[in-house]
Amino acid sequence: MIAERPADDTKGLKAGALGFVSNVVIGVASTAPGYSLASSLGLVVAAVGLQSPAIMLLAFVPMLLIAASYYYMNRADADAGTTFSWVTLAMGPWLGWLGGWAIVVADIIVMANLSQIAGIYTFLLVGADSYAASTFWVTLVGVLWIVIMTAICYIGVELSAKTQWYLLAAEIVTLAAFAVVALWKVYVNSPPGSIDPSLSWINPFDIPSTNALVAGILVAVFIYWGWDSTVTVNEESNDPNHGPGLAAIVATLVLVGIYVIVSVAAQAYAGPDFLINNSDDVLSALGGDVLGSPLDKLLIIAVLTSASASTQTTILPTTRTVLSMAYHGAAPRRFARIHPQHLTPSTATIWMGVLSVGWYVGLTVLSEDILFDSIASLGLMIAFYYGLTGYACAIYYRHELVKSAKNFVLIGIAPVAGGIMLTYVFVKSCIDLADPANSESGNSWFGLGPPLVIGGFFLVLGLVLMVAWYAKAPDFFRRKPQVADPAVLSAREP
């Protein structure tokens, strides 16, 4: 049975380097809220109209429920491998390995998208629109962003956290300014196309149909992805068993506030038709009218800092997942190496940077359609490992669930409900992505949509690599599932 991690059971990471607020900052920054809103709000409005704020609230529910499972699993096992380590404990090493694999694949795939956005918005910020339209120059600058953020993560988690403070502060201040000015102009000037906000916008029962509801949630649920990064730095945090898990919950609360307020402000100022017609980037489209020139550049800065911050905070969970897998014998031991001075996962960080650059450049050279379709497949990996973590929590604590109503609800019902919701999202996404018409490119591979084929390819690849590793190093796969030590829940929280 596993109780709280002993003080001497470390992987060599720098203990106590991060405080609670830094944990929250990492969790919020990882979701790239500025970019997520810019690229997704128009799609949500297209699905549900003025009820987009309601969708932001509904999509938040499974995230909060899964955040509860992260909190309780981290109390029992403050391991940087998070899903990999916890699912291994609760459900066995085979599912645990696949959970870790899903995290690594999702993070490498999204790096291509984030670095491309960073490249484009770097040029837009300085008014070099022709360069922003150039695949070569955007790719070059995107690669430079990956290199810079990889170097920051290599040098140390404290530098990473300090960088996130500045990037996230710029992003949130800009989004807040946009929301305040937009709502002020709606009430004072009533610009053409504006609509006075209504409480009905947050009422999910006003959504016109179940299909519209599901379509909206399928888009919105993934803009919350990334808050779990705060838990992957648990071994480098103050109060590692409690602080990071609580920070994950706080991060989801901060995110829902940002998403609801900005979505209300955007659709109040411009109306749903404008947002739908500019769904590629609603914030830049609104910037000139809301903030005027040159302040509209602030929204470009918001998206740029959002993408660059998320690039950095995507490296953190990947390298620590790989570190944990190597430490526990589920991956080559060299990935468990810690830099003697910086106390960071040196080998894993370098490899994350190399693979991210290779994936981004390779797909850009091969086909930008494949790049976009790979991004569309992300939801499958996210729903898989988030949902798996929810189930693992209830299974691991199964002997404790009937000891109190609090345990039954918060450790049993909530994580399982979150897992069921995300399982539904996974299945529904598979069905939708099977149709080539729902892919970014509209292409057909083997009669299926490319995103589903890409997701299936990585699943098969993961199974092959897992079996190959079993043949080489079977000890890890001989581990037996465990149950929680009752002392974990009885221990007094700080």
| Number of domains the chain is built from | 1
Using only C-alpha atoms, what is the Rg of the chain? 22
Provide the 10 A C-beta neighbour count for residue 68: 24
The CA–CA distances, whole Å, from 452 to 10, 217, 434, 441 equal: 39, 19, 6, 13
- Asked, for residue 10, whether it belongs to a domain, the answer is no
Question: Distance between CA atoms of 156 and 147, rounded to whole angstroms?
Answer: 15
- Asked, for residue 132, whether it belongs to a domain, the answer is yes
The pLDDT of residue 9 is 54
The pLDDT of residue 279 is 84
Question: Distance between CA atoms of 254 and 227, rounded to whole angstroms?
Answer: 10
Work out the mean pLDDT of the chain and round it to a whole number.
Answer: 88
- Asked, for residue 1, whether it belongs to a domain, the answer is no
- The CATH number of whichever domain residue 457 belongs to comes to 1.20.1740.10
Residue-wise pLDDT tens digits, 429-450: 899 888 888 777 777 888 898 8
The pLDDT of residue 214 is 83
Q: Give φ, ψ of 74 to 5 degrees.
A: -70, -30
Q: pTM for the full model?
A: 0.90
Can you say whether the dihedral through the CA atoms of 379, 382, 386, 392 is positive or negative? positive
In contact, 33 and 195? CB cutoff 8 Å? no
Q: 420-449 b/e with 16+ CB inside 10 Å = b?
A: ebbbbbbebbbebbeebeebbbeeebeebb
Residue-wise pLDDT tens digits, 4-23: 343 345 688 888 888 999 99
Residue-wise pLDDT tens digits, 221-262: 888 988 999 999 999 898 898 899 999 999 999 999 999 999
Give the domain extent around 316: 20-489
Can you say whether the dihedral through the CA atoms of 419, 425, 431, 436 is positive or negative? negative
What is the three-class DSSP state of 426? Answer: helix
- Asked, for residue 12, whether it belongs to a domain, the answer is no
- Asked, for residue 13, whether it belongs to a domain, the answer is no
Residue-wise pLDDT tens digits, 122-171: 998 888 889 988 989 999 999 999 999 899 889 988 877 788 888 888 88
- Asked, for residue 494, whether it belongs to a domain, the answer is no
What is the three-class DSSP state of 228? Answer: coil
Q: What angle do CA 388, 392, 394 make, to 5 degrees?
A: 125
Question: Distance between CA atoms of 19 and 11, rounded to whole angstroms?
Answer: 19
Question: Distance between CA atoms of 297 and 295, rounded to whole angstroms?
Answer: 5
Instruction: Give the chain's residues under pLDDT 70.
Output: 1-10, 491-494
- Asked, for residue 456, whether it belongs to a domain, the answer is yes
Question: Distance between CA atoms of 183 and 200, rounded to whole angstroms?
Answer: 17
- Asked, for residue 11, whether it belongs to a domain, the answer is no
Q: Which residues pair with 237 in a beta bridge?
A: 18
What is the distance in angstroms between the CA of the first residue and the CA of the last residue of the chain?
Answer: 23
